[in-house]
């Protein structure tokens, strides 16, 4: 059971000792289920799940069954079957979905990376067809762990499903990038939101984002997230489409920045593929690959591959 403070307190009373459960014969785990690797569980766990198996097998839809799912969730909040049965009970019994959302908050506080509870919350919001307060709740979760994959995935869904795509979500991503410039999840979210907006990465938006991104790169040139974002916003037009980006990379190349030099390599290769200044760019590739083999010897084989790729392209 759960205390007023939301903490789990194991009841001293077993279900087998409760008069209201006398009509149920519990179904305990069989030998075939535990023969491979026996998981150490408490007697309370065995007792609760014995009764849960029993009501599940008979499809009982009752308040006591709902209460039992809470007990089982306290014992193991990652059990998908318990969550699914609880959803069926919520619907059948007409339970208050807002109360259930509050309940999931307490589970998330203790188990923020539990797939099942996040899926459960998604189903509840879909049934309500209302996400009031959800983005603020997610903000609080991400404040505790700004890289919680489940919370980010949920925010992507909320923004898309409930049509919350807009400048305010770009601002939210900006806030988290400002707090941690290496937060790859925040960069990804920024890309998702802008891509989903009506204007998308138009020429005007792209120009503004190039300025934003290059400024962030100057703050931390070794931040791969920002470089990936820069490549992402240019992918449709082409990496070589922006002279300002090329000049930016050339300047950072002088400072021995691996990511800037690597970005230049991709620009040169793209131009060769487009048959633009092939001989000049082929010479550029040779020089850049030589630099990268010294700057980033860990990826020696990749740099060799890129050099070989260019040779094949220009010998066709």
Catalytic residues: 113
Which residue from 160, 167, 93, 155 is spatially nearest to 121, judged by alpha carbons?
155
Give the list of residues 6+ apart from residue 315 with CB closer than 8 angstroms, or none: none
CA distances to 32, 167, 199, 242, 270 from 233, in Å? 54, 17, 13, 11, 16
For 54-86, letters b (16+ CB in 10 Å) and e give: bbbeeeeeeeebbebbebbbbbebebeebbbbb
Residue count (the chain) = 316
For residue 153, give Cα distances in angstroms to 57, 115, 132, 166, 192. Answer: 34, 11, 18, 17, 11
Cα 160 to chain centroid distance, Å, stands at 14
Please state, in angstroms and rounded to a whole number, the distance separating the CA atoms of residues 21 and 106. 27
- The secondary structure of 104-148, three-state, reads HHHHHHHCCCCHHHHHHHHHHHHHHCCCCCHHHHHHHHHHHCCCC
**DSSP reduced 3-state for 223:** coil
Instruction: Establish how many alpha carbons lie within 13 A of residue 196's alpha carbon, considering only the half-sphere containing its beta carbon.
Output: 19
Instruction: Give the whole-angstrom CA distance, residue 258 versus residue 119.
Output: 40
């Amino acid at each position: 059971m759960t205390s007023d403070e939301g903490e789990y307190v194991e009841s001293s009373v077993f279900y087998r000792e409760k008069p209201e459960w006398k009509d149920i014969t519990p179904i305990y785990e069989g030998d075939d289920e535990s023969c491979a690797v026996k998981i150490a569980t408490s007697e309370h766990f065995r007792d609760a799940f014995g009764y849960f198996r029993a009501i599940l097998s008979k499809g009982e839809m009752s308040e006591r069954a709902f209460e039992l799912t809470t007990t089982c969730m306290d014992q193991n909040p990652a059990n998908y079957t318990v969550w699914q049965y609880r959803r069926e009970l919520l619907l059948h019994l007409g339970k208050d979905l807002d109360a259930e959302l509050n309940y999931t908050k307490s589970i998330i506080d203790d188990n923020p990376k539990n797939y099942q509870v996040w899926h459960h919350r998604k189903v509840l919001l879909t049934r309500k067809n209302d996400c009031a307060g959800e983005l603020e709740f997610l903000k609080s979760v991400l404040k505790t762990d700004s890289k919680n994959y489940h919370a980010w995935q949920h925010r992507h869904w909320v923004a898309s499903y409930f049509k919350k795509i807009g400048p305010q979500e770009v601002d939210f991503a900006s806030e988290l990038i400002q707090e941690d410039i290496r937060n790859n999840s925040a960069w990804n979210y920024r890309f998702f939101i802008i891509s989903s907006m009506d204007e998308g990465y138009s020429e005007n938006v792209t120009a503004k984002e190039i300025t934003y991104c290059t400024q962030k790169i100057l703050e931390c040139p070794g931040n791969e997230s920002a470089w990936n974002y820069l490549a992402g916003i240019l992918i449709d037009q082409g990496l070589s489409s922006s002279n300002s980006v090329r000049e930016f990379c050339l300047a950072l190349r002088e400072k021995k920045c691996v990511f800037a030099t690597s970005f230049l390599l991709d620009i040169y290769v793209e131009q060769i593929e487009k048959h633009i200044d092939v001989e000049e760019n082929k010479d550029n590739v040779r020089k850049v690959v030589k630099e990268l083999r010294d700057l980033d010897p860990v990826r020696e084989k990749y740099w060799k591959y890129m050099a070989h790729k260019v040779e094949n392209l220009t010998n066709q």
